[in-house]
Amino acid sequence: MDLFDKCYNPKENSALYNAKVAEEKSLYSYFLPFEGTEGTEVVYKGRKIIMLGLNNYLEPTHHPKVKEAAKKAIDEYGTSATGSRFMNGTLKIHRDLEDALAEFLNKEAVIVFSTGYQTNLGIISALLSPKDYAIMDKEDHASIVDEWSMYHSKFARFNHNDVGSLENVLSKISDDAGKLIVVDGVYSMAGDIAPLPEIVELKNKYGARLMVDDAHLIGVLGRNGRGTANHFNLENEVDLIIGTFSKSFASLGGFIAGDKEVINYIKHYARSFIFSAAMTPASAAAVLASLQVIQEEPERIEELWNIANRMRKGLKELGFDIGASNTPIIPVYIRDKWKTVMMWKELFELGVYINPVFPPAVQPNDSLLRTSYIAIHTEEQIDKALSIFEKAGKKSGII
């Protein structure tokens, strides 16, 4: 059998097959090469489009302080650390960033990784042996599922945000096994927040540890954007906080925060940390500057929530199904693959870009349009976006 046969002749209804069908029908929605971005708008083939698909919630990406810090870091350190953190790649700016994040998150220690995906991969490879359990929400991010599949610890899954289901799973695991409950602070497709107080009660009852992936809520929720654990006053109960720098920190990379001894252990055993090149100096500097912006300009967080609440109210009034979202991530459920594509196409042609999402990224009958908002979206842009949603929704038969 030719190894490449699947590339040339994909199976019907496979991801590649559907992509080719969509391309033939001019409905392909991925890898679009934008020519420029101003944060709230992008340019595609010379046409300005309102962007409702970024995770750039506080919009530090174009902030003068952030851009200047990245340029200065290149002048001081060059463009790369040229090695892994474990060996020759640790720079002072990495340590400065880790210290600043630890203080911000009220944790003893932090280590930073080159990407958010590698951050999640590092946890299970370091902490869980084959007899230990990762206990995951069914809607946890794909990188968390991947880390289990790569390193073969035991795992169990519970129904999304269902604490009764979580307790049922925990009650069946031997007391002799190590247990790590893994949840997202906010779920990146549905936009709903994990019920941390109830999860913490079960964590303590069954002697488990708790890790919260706060990729989308660091900078957005909690006092000055300190995240989900801070929002619920549970920073001392959440054992590990992980996050990414590609959302509210205008950069690339990720981090793990926790007790000093635990972070030091992960530092010496996480394969994705040990065997990857360090964050580039410019990336680290951009995060440090973004952290400063978040703390110095708290009004950005307030504006973001005002915009998200206004859009959520408007979509509901138009008759769209937005599920249980209570964050700046607002899904529009279509629940049919090709209707979702058609709705995306109508919105795009009318001047709004959003992200269409299909199984397996969501449950089989949950195809949706994922929208997300930025602190600097204007009232005019939100009004225009709602008008376009109304036109596209009626034309597509969604509302």
The residues annotated with a catalytic role in the active site are 188, 216, 247
In 3D, which of 252, 192, 235, 213 has the Cα closest to residue 124? 213
CA–CA dist 164, 193 (Å, integer): 17
Could you tell me what percentage of the chain is helix, strand and coil, using 3-state DSSP and rounding each to the nearest 5?
45, 15, 40
Residue-wise burial string across 305-317, b where 16 or more C-beta atoms lie within 10 A, e elsewhere:
bebbebbbebbee
- Write the burial class of residue 106 (CB in 10 Å: 0-12 exposed, 13-18 middle, 19+ buried): middle
Q: Do 290 and 243 contact (CB within 8 A), yes or no?
A: no
Q: Are 340 and 367 in contact (CB under 8 A)?
A: yes
Residues in the chain: 399
Residues 6+ apart with CB under 8 A from 392: 343, 346, 347, 350, 352, 398
Q: CA distances (Å), 306 to each of 215, 299, 302, 379, in order?
A: 21, 11, 6, 10
Written as one letter, the residue type at 111 is I
Tokens of 156: 């169990």
Sheet holding 352-353, edge to edge: 36-37, 41-44, 47-51, 352-353
Quick one: which of 176, 174, 180, 175 has its CA closest to 155? 180
Strand partners, 134: 155, 180
- What is d(CA 178, CA 41) in angstroms, rounded to the nearest whole number? 47
Would you state the structure tokens that stand for residue 50, as one six-digit string? 């309102």
